[in-house]
Amino acid sequence: MTAYPDLHEKLRLEVQTARDDIFVLSLSQLGGYRLGGAAEADGGYDPNVEWMNVLGSTHDIKVRRGAKRGDNIQTEMEVGTLNATIYDFAVNPLNNPYIKQGVPIRLQAWVVDQWVSIFTGAISSVRVGLLKDKTQKPPVYLSATDMVKTLANTNRAGVVAGTFSERVTDILSKHGIPFTAVGGTVNLSDNQYDSTLVNHLMLAQNSELGYIYVDKENVVKAFGRGSLPTNSPVINFSDTRDDTDPIRSYYVDMPVSLDDTIMFNDVFVRNMTRQTDYDPETLEWTYTSIEKVYGPFRNATSVATYGARQTEVTTNLANDEDVFAYGNTVLHEFDTPELRADSVYWNATNEIEKVAGLELFDLVNCEYNSEWSSLNQPFRVLAIEHDITPERWMVTVDLLDATF
C-alpha cells in the first residue's frame, strides 16, 4: 500500500501581517491604515511586515489558475482563485484582524530545501460558520484571487504603437503592476480600444501569437512568439509506469478526443487600428477607432472534406503584411481535426517537487494508448487546478496545443 505524507507538513498557507513591534492603526480604534487597503492604493504594502501561517486544521484547499479557450483559437485569461476550509480559532476573523478582504495570502510547498509558491494573491472574502458551542472550532471559508482580478477591474482607453514587449510595458507600468516582458515578432498598431487591462493584454497576446499569464508569485509574465522558457517537456504524463524516467508521471485519467470544434478552415481577421486627426482651429487631436476585416483565409480542400468551419479572430497589427501572414498561419495550424488530449488528472501527492515546479504554458508530454488510438505528443499547460486535503494532492492540468 502506498504511503502518503501528511501534507500539513509540506504546505503552508500564509497571510501578511504587521510585525509585532509595528503599530498598525487598523488594530486600534483610529482605523486609518489597513493591510490590503490604503497600502495597496499607495503602490505596495508596508515593508515592516511578516507572513503568518494560518494552515491550522485545514480541511481542504482548492486552487485554480490559468486561462480558457474562447469560441475560437484565441485564449482568455481567467482570475486565479484559492478556496480553503479551515477549522482553527486563530483563523477566525473575530479573533484575527488580518483575516479580511485585501490582505495578501500565499500557498507554498516545501521542496528539497526551500518554500515554493503554488498561489499568491489577496483575500477576497471570508465566511465563518458560527457554532453554538464555543469550544468547537468553527469552519472558516477563505477565498482569494490573484492579480488577474486587478487587471479585469482596471480600464484603459487606447494604447500607442510598438512591439509586443513595448505594448505590455505601456499597459502595465503606468498602473504599478509587476511584470516581465520578453520577445516579440510583430509591430502592434496604436488603437482606441476602451476596455480592461486583461482585454488589452489578450489583444496583444493574440496578435503576437504569444503568451501572457499571472505566475505563482502574482507577477504578470509576457512572452512573445517562440520566447517561452520551456522548449522541452518538464513532465511526461504517461499511462505506463517507468521509475527510470525522472520526468515521467503516471496519470489517473486523460480524456482524449478527435475534436473538430477546434478546427477552422474559413478564417476572417478583424484588425483594430486608430485614425489620428488634428484640428488646427481647436488645436486638438481626435482619435477614431478603425476596424478592418481581412479574408476569408480558406483551405478549399478542407472545406470540401469537412465542410466550412468559420471563425473570426481579432488582432491589432500595424501593417497589412502581418495581417495576411497571421491569417495564413492560423489557417495552416487549425484546418484539420486532430487527436487531442484535453486535460490530465494526476495524483501528485508523492510528487510535490514536480507539481510545485509546474507553471502555466510549460511544455508537458502526453502519452495515451488504447485499443482505438494512441497519442504521444507535447502540449502546453493552459490551466492548473489543485485539490488538496491532508491526505491527497490531486491535480487537473488543462492542455493547449503546442502550436506556436
Q: Per residue in 254-296, pLDDT tens?
A: 999 887 878 899 999 999 998 877 777 777 777 788 999 999 9
Number of H helices, E strands in the chain: 7, 25
- Note whether 35 and 102 are within 8 A (CB): yes
Cell numbers standing for residue 29: 480604534
- Cα(14)–Cα(54) distance, integer angstroms: 6
197-211, 254-268, 340-354, 382-396, range with the lowest pLDDT? 254-268
Q: How many CA atoms lie within 13 A of 307 on its CB side?
A: 3
- Cα(237)–Cα(348) distance, integer angstroms: 12
Question: What is the 8-class DSSP label of residue 348?
Answer: -
User: What pTM, to 2 d.p., does this model score?
Assistant: 0.89
Domain with CATH 2.40.30 in the chain: 235-259+339-401
pLDDT (average), residues 183-191: 93
- The one-letter code for the residue type at 302 is S
CATH entry, 155-227+264-336, from 3.40.47.10, 3.55.50.10, 3.30.1360.120, 3.50.50.60: 3.55.50.10
Q: Which residue has the higher pLDDT, 71 or 322?
A: 322
165-179, 240-254, 272-286, range with the lowest pLDDT? 272-286
Domain with CATH 3.55.50.10 in the chain: 155-227+264-336
Exposure letters 86-109 (e unless 16+ CB within 10 A, then b): bbbbebbbeebebbbebbbbbbbb
Helix (H/G/I), strand (E/B), else coil: 247: coil
Residue closest to 380 by CA, chosen among 171, 238, 237:
237
Provide the CATH number for the domain formed by 235-259+339-401 in this structure: 2.40.30
Q: Is the dihedral of CA 196, 200, 201, 206 positive or negative?
A: positive
Residue closest to 357 by CA, chosen among 395, 388, 390:
395
CA 273 from centroid of its chain's CA atoms: 27
